[in-house]
Structures are given as structure tokens and as C-alpha cells.
């Protein structure tokens, strides 16, 4: 596209104009004033050069524009022109963040929309509702029974006792537990409350046979099921709202800090919303830097480059050029506003109570100094080590005589957990598979009417310990899929680039009409239920990989192939089609290293809204 493109225009996705782009490209173009998108739109750089610069940025930090200039993708004049066009786009949308910072420097232009009190109140009300429904069901069951006063009191006290117990285990705390840990805590706490209430009622009444034991069991089952489901539905509906969650300040704009911010932005249901990033390295601050004095904060322009940390006088000739120097460096929309010295001021004036320290290269003495000096105003401080490949979902920590240790559990290598997972697969598949047999027969009929060929698509995949097995899916393509894919990729380099990054195509010309519907709702994978019953697959697990994909797995196949592949998994319910092949592999490794029954239950619960939401291929 030429330089005369309108500020609001959007670069075409890989695969050509008019085609639906993958979610990854939609997310990168969501704020179309990013400098990389401006340069692509002006025909200065290619998407491949931008992806290379973003990879370098994720490792070392810094500005994408400076990285592009350093790698020879464009010159300084092109960067300057793109900056000015950024400003024009920003003006078209409204006043920018850095400009607001100059107008109201006391809060550095930041607006904290999060309302943690409201978030906790809604979680509490949801728990009261689900526990109340369960207690009401128990009441209906025993309505005609003649219960003693102690028995009736035990029933009435179930809801408040559960709420008190959940509060005691930090289920309404500032830092929420991981999803699998939340399910585990809710299940154990509610079970203990119901058990204790039942024991008290039996002991005080002295009439075991007159107790409505079935009512207690029904109430327990309903509470254990409804409380996590209610919390999950609440987060699904409200987690993307700006006011949901707890605001946090992230210390560190390096590799680990950027990864923390990106993860929290992609997964708002975790409940932590980053609003600002602080780093003492001035080359990471952007073209403005926030500083503070005794009475106030102010934002000033700084010279970029490793050879100078001095300020640049803001005496440029045109408003556009001056505004171009008012761009914060950002990580997924979160601004890097200055050095660590701003942390106490942000905590005091913005009312932020949580901080995440993502500076793993600091030694212990320096890290303690940062916590004592800059994080004293934060009631909750998370210290993130550079252990992204070790610490995963709900990884527990232990104190070994004052020394912090992270426990890496390998439960799926033990015979007991493997047996438990297999029993869960067989029971749930049998109970869920029988009712959907008529629907499976209907899908088979529609496939035969839609196109010629077999109803099922068979393909060899890698199972546990690398053993090959035949994976079944409903056929969603015309003819020989692999041969057609090869022809399409050889004919269209843009589609080839998309497939090399995502290992799938957003708009695939090989797919049939009924196949598009089946893929959209992931119904093409229903025949894999048979693979679960015969033991080749599991309900939840890593993706079943192809043998040709092993060279791209960077040695991680040694971890992934220790377990059975699954019909659904972590990446399907978190990243979905917005993830690259590399990200999927990392999430599968996380699953294997962090497995627990609670994690499987979480994934299965999340799979239901994902399927009905139609976010498949």
C-alpha cells in the first residue's frame, strides 16, 4: 500500500486481501497505529522483517523501530515518517496516553479502571448464589422429614460456613489462585464443611438411621459442581471488562517482564491487570520518560540510544513532530513509564496494591533492596524467577530451612496418577459418549450427502512413547488433503508463510461446506472418543503430533510423548487459533509437567464454552 494510505487503514493479512486473517494477525492489527503496521502499510518493510524484529524485542527489549533500523530493514527517515503517521492516527482516534500525561502529570497519564472491591464482591455473591441453590435443593429433599433442631441448624449453617472457609483459604484474596488450584480448594473446603456438618448433626441427634443422608450427599455434589462453574461463568462474562481484577505494576521490561505482561493480557481471567511497567534501563522507556519530584510527576522526552541518557529539549517546530516524541514504549498496550523510583508514587496516588517483580537477573541482595526500597507501598508482591519452563499451573513452593524451593511434580510418570487419569477417561467417555450416538449418526449422513468420499479421515499420529496410532476424525476436506495442501502452499507464498508459522490456514480452500461447520465447533474430533476408549488417546492431553513436526519441536517431544495425546488440551482452551506452533508446544509441555486431576477438570470445563462459542478453525 502506498504512503498516501489513510491513517485508519489496516494492512492486509497474509494470504491476500479479502481473506479472514488468523487471530494472531487481528490482535497485532487491533491498534493499527503500531509502528510496524505503519511501515508495512507504507511498503517499507515486510511482515517477515517485522516478525524478526518482534522476536528480537521479546528477547532484549527496546524499540521495534530501532531494531528495524539496526537490522537494515529500513532507515531513520522511514522511522520518523512512521512516527508522525502514528500521531495522525492517534489524533483521529482521540488524545493519546502520553499527551494526557503532559496535561495531568500527577498520575502520569495513567487511568486505573480496575475495581478489585467490586470483583471480590461479585465472586462472593456468585458463591452465595450457587451455595444457596445447593442448600435449597437439600431443603426441598428434607421438606417433609421431621428433623431435630440440631439437624436443621446444620443445614442452615452450610452456606455461611462454606463462605467463611473459602475466605480463610484466600479464595477472595488480591492474588487469585491458578484455575486448577481454585477447583481443588473449592472441592476440598466444601467437602470438609459438608462432612463436618453431617458429623455434628449425627453426633448431636444420636439417630443415624433417621438422618437424610441422601440430602447431604446431593447438596455436597451440587455445591462442589456449581461453585467452580459459577466462578468460571462469571469470569468468562466479565474478565475482559476494564474494571475486572486487581491492577498491578510490573517491575522489569526485559524478557521475563514482557512475557509476564503478555500472559496477563492474554488471560484476563487470571485477575491481574498490568497498568504500568517500570525499568531503570532508559533505552526501554520509549521516547518519553516519567520523572518525579517532591510535589508532582512530569513527563519529558528522552534521547534514545545506548550512548546517551540525557533529555532532549521539547522545542520542535511542528505539533506533529512534537507529538511524535510523545510515544510511550509499550508491551501489549501497557506503557513503560519510567524507572523503579516511580513505584512508591504510583502505589500511593493510583491506589495500586499489587506489584510483580520480573527481574530474574538480580542477585538476592539487590532483589531484597528493590523490594524494601521500591515495593514497600504494595501489600502484595509477586517475585517472578526466570523459570518459565519449570514453574507452571499451580506449581507449589516450599521453604527448606528458609531457602525457597519450587517443587516440580512429575505425577504422570507415576503408576497411581496414570491409573486415576485412565479411570477418569473411561468413566467420562462412557457416560458422555452414549447420549451423543444419534448426533454422530446424523453428522455421518450429512458428510455423505455433502461430498464424495469416506465419512472418516484417518491419519497416523504419535502417541505415548512415540508409538504411532491411527487417529480418526470426521472428514472435512475434499479428496486427498495432504496432496492438496502441498499444491496450495507451492502456489501461494503468503499462505505458505502463514502455514509455516501456525501449521494451519485460516481460510482453507480444501474444506467442504459441512466441514467448515464441524471445524468451527471442533465437532470433527468426535470420533476420537473411540481412540480414548481403546487407550490410544486421553480426553485431556497434548496435541497428537505428526511425525514430520518433530524437528520443529526443539527437543520438547521427549517430554510431550511421555503421555497420551488428548482430544482437548491447554492451548485449545487458552490460546486457541491465536497461538503459534511454538506456543502450542510450550503449553503442552506445561500440561505434562503440571498435571493434576483438577487441571483436567478445569480444561474439560473450559472446553464446553469454547466449543459452543465456535472459535475453531
Q: What does the pLDDT look like over 481-509, one tens digit per residue?
A: 667 778 888 888 888 887 777 767 777 76
Q: Is the residue at 12 inside a domain?
A: no
Residue 421 and residue 523 share a domain = yes
Q: Is the residue at 499 inside a domain?
A: no
Structural contact between residues 49 and 68, judged by C-beta atoms closer than 8 angstroms: yes
Q: Is the residue at 2 inside a domain?
A: no
Q: Which residue has the higher pLDDT, 412 or 520?
A: 520
Choosing from 212, 238, 264, the residue where a domain stops is 238
Q: Domain span at residue 228? A: 116-238
- pLDDT(470) > 80: yes
Q: Is the residue at 543 inside a domain?
A: yes
Q: Name the pLDDT band for 565 (thresholds 50, 70, 90).
A: very high
pLDDT single digits (tens) 86-134: 656 655 555 554 455 444 444 445 667 888 899 999 999 999 999 999 8
Measured CA to CA, the distance from residue 92 to residue 561 in angstroms comes to 51
- Mean pLDDT for 430-449 is 89
- Mean pLDDT for 558-587 is 82
- pLDDT(550) > 50: yes
pLDDT at site 174: 66
Residue 191 and residue 337 share a domain = no
DSSP 11: P
Q: Is the residue at 398 inside a domain?
A: no
- pLDDT(536) > 90: yes
pLDDT at site 487: 81
Q: Is the residue at 597 inside a domain?
A: yes
Residue 305 and residue 289 share a domain = yes
Residue 172 and residue 263 share a domain = no
Q: Which residue has the higher pLDDT, 104 or 445?
A: 445
Residue 177 and residue 266 share a domain = no
Residue 201 and residue 141 share a domain = yes
pLDDT at site 325: 44
pLDDT at site 223: 94
- pLDDT(173) > 50: yes
Q: Is the residue at 297 inside a domain?
A: yes
pLDDT at site 578: 60
Q: Tally Cβ neighbours within 10 Å of residue 212.
A: 17
Residue 340 and residue 460 share a domain = no
In 3D space, the residue among 337, 284, 248, 324 whose CA is nearest the CA of residue 96 turns out to be 324
Kindly report each contact of residues 12-15 with a partner whose C-beta sits within 8 Å and lies 24 or more positions away, as own/partner: 13/506, 14/47, 14/494, 14/495, 14/497, 14/498, 15/492, 15/494, 15/495, 15/498, 15/505, 15/506, 15/507
Residue 463 and residue 354 share a domain = no
Q: Which residue has the higher pLDDT, 528 or 24?
A: 528
Q: Which three cell numbers stand for residue 183?
A: 477447583
pLDDT at site 393: 55
The CATH number of whichever domain residue 292 belongs to comes to: 3.40.50.720
Residue 255 and residue 377 share a domain = yes
Q: Which residue has the higher pLDDT, 594 or 117?
A: 117
- pLDDT(179) > 50: yes
Choosing from 238, 260, 291, the residue where a domain stops is 238
- Mean pLDDT for 456-461 is 91
Q: Is the residue at 506 inside a domain?
A: no
Measured CA to CA, the distance from residue 162 to residue 190 in angstroms comes to 6
Measured CA to CA, the distance from residue 342 to residue 513 in angstroms comes to 56
pLDDT single digits (tens) 44-80: 898 888 888 888 877 776 667 778 888 888 887 787 6
Query: For the chain, what is the domain count?
Result: 4
Choosing from 46, 61, 94, the residue where a domain stops is 94
Residue 126 and residue 56 share a domain = no
What number of CA atoms fall less than 13 Å from residue 404's CA on the CB side?
7
pLDDT at site 538: 94
- Mean pLDDT for 175-193 is 88
pLDDT at site 185: 92
pLDDT at site 402: 60
Residue 252 and residue 233 share a domain = no
pLDDT at site 288: 52
The whole model's pTM is what? 0.67
Amino acid at each position: 500500500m502506498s504512503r498516501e494510505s489513510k491513517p485508519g487503514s489496516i494492512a492486509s493479512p497474509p494470504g491476500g486481501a479479502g481473506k479472514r486473517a488468523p487471530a494472531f494477525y487481528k490482535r497485532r492489527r487491533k491498534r493499527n497505529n503500531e509502528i510496524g503496521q505503519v511501515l508495512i502499510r507504507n511498503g517499507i518493510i515486510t511482515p517477515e522483517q517485522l516478525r524478526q524484529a518482534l522476536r528480537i524485542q521479546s528477547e532484549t527489549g527496546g524499540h521495534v523501530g530501532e531494531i528495524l533500523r539496526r537490522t537494515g530493514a529500513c532507515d531513520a527517515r522511514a522511522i520518523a515518517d512512521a512516527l508522525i503517521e502514528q500521531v495522525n492516527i492517534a489524533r483521529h482516534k482521540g488524545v493519546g496516553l502520553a499527551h494526557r500525561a503532559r496535561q495531568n502529570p500527577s498520575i502520569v497519564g495513567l487511568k486505573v479502571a480496575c475495581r478489585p472491591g467490586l470483583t471480590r464482591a461479585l465472586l462472593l455473591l456468585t458463591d452465595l448464589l450457587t451455595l444457596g441453590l445447593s442448600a435449597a435443593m437439600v431443603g426441598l429433599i428434607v421438606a417433609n422429614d421431621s428433623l431435630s433442631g440440631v439437624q436443621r441448624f446444620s443445614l442452615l449453617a452450610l452456606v455461611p460456613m462454606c463462605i467463611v472457609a473459602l475466605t480463610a483459604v484466600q479464595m477472595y484474596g488480591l492474588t487469585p489462585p491458578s484455575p486448577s488450584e481454585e477447583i481443588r480448594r473449592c472441592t476440598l473446603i466444601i467437602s470438609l464443611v459438608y462432612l463436618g456438618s453431617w458429623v455434628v448433626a449425627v453426633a448431636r441427634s444420636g439417630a443415624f438411621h433417621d438422618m437424610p443422608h441422601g440430602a447431604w450427599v446431593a447438596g455436597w455434589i451440587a455445591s462442589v459442581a456449581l461453585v467452580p462453574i459459577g466462578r468460571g461463568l462469571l469470569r468468562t462474562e466479565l474478565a475482559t471488562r476494564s474494571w475486572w481484577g486487581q491492577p498491578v505494576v510490573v517491575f522489569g521490561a526485559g524478557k521475563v517482564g514482557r512475557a509476564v505482561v503478555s500472559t496477563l493480557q492474554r488471560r484476563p481471567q487470571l485477575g491481574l491487570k498490568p497498568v504500568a511497567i517500570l525499568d531503570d534501563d532508559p533505552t526501554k522507556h520509549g521516547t518519553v520518560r516519567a520523572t518525579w519530584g517532591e510535589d508532582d510527576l512530569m513527563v519529558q522526552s528522552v534521547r534514545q540510544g545506548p550512548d546517551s541518557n540525557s533529555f532532549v529539549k521539547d522545542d520542535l517546530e511542528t505539533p506533529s513532530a512534537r507529538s511524535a516524541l510523545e510515544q510511550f514504549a509499550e508491551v501489549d498496550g501497557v506503557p513503560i513509564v519510567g524507572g523503579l523510583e516511580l513505584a512508591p508514587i504510583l502505589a500511593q496516588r493510583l491506589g495500586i496494591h499489587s506489584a510483580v517483580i520480573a527481574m530474574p537477573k538480580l542477585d538476592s541482595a539487590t532483589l531484597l533492596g528493590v523490594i524494601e526500597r521500591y515495593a514497600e507501598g504494595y501489600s502484595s508482591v509477586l517475585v517472578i524467577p526466570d523459570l518459565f519452563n519449570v514453574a507452571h499451573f499451580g506449581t507449589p513452593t516450599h521453604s527448606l530451612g528458609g531457602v525457597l524451593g519450587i517443587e516440580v511434580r512429575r505425577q504422570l510418570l507415576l503408576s497411581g496418577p496414570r491409573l486415576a487419569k485412565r479411570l477418569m477417561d473411561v468413566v467420562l467417555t462412557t457416560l458422555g459418549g452414549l447420549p451423543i450416538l444419534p448426533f454422530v449418526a446424523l453428522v455421518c449422513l450429512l458428510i455423505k450427502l455433502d461430498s464424495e468420499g469416506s465419512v472418516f479421515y484417518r491419519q497416523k499420529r504419535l502417541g505415548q512413547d512415540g508409538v504411532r496410532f491411527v487417529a480418526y476424525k470426521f472428514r472435512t476436506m475434499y479428496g486427498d488433503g495432504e496432496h492438496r495442501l502441498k499444491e496450495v502452499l507451492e502456489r501461494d507464498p503468503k499462505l505458505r508463510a502463514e502455514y509455516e508459522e501456525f501449521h494451519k490456514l485460516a481460510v482453507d480452500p480444501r474444506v467442504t461446506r459441512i466441514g467448515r461447520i464441524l471445524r468451527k465447533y471442533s465437532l470433527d474430533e468426535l470420533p476420537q472418543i473411540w481412540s480414548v476408549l481403546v487407550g490410544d488417546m486421553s480426553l485431556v492431553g497434548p496435541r497428537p503430533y505428526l511425525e514430520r513436526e518433530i524437528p520443529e519441536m526443539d527437543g520438547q517431544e521427549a517430554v510431550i510423548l511421555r503421555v497420551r495425546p488428548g482430544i482437548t488440551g491447554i492451548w485449545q482452551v487458552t490460546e486457541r487459533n491465536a497461538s503459534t506452533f511454538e506456543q502450542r508446544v510450550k503449553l503442552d509441555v506445561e500440561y505434562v509437567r503440571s498435571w493434576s486431576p483438577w487441571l483436567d477438570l478445569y480444561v474439560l470445563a473450559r472446553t464446553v464454552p469454547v466449543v459452543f462459542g465456535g472459535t475453531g478453525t
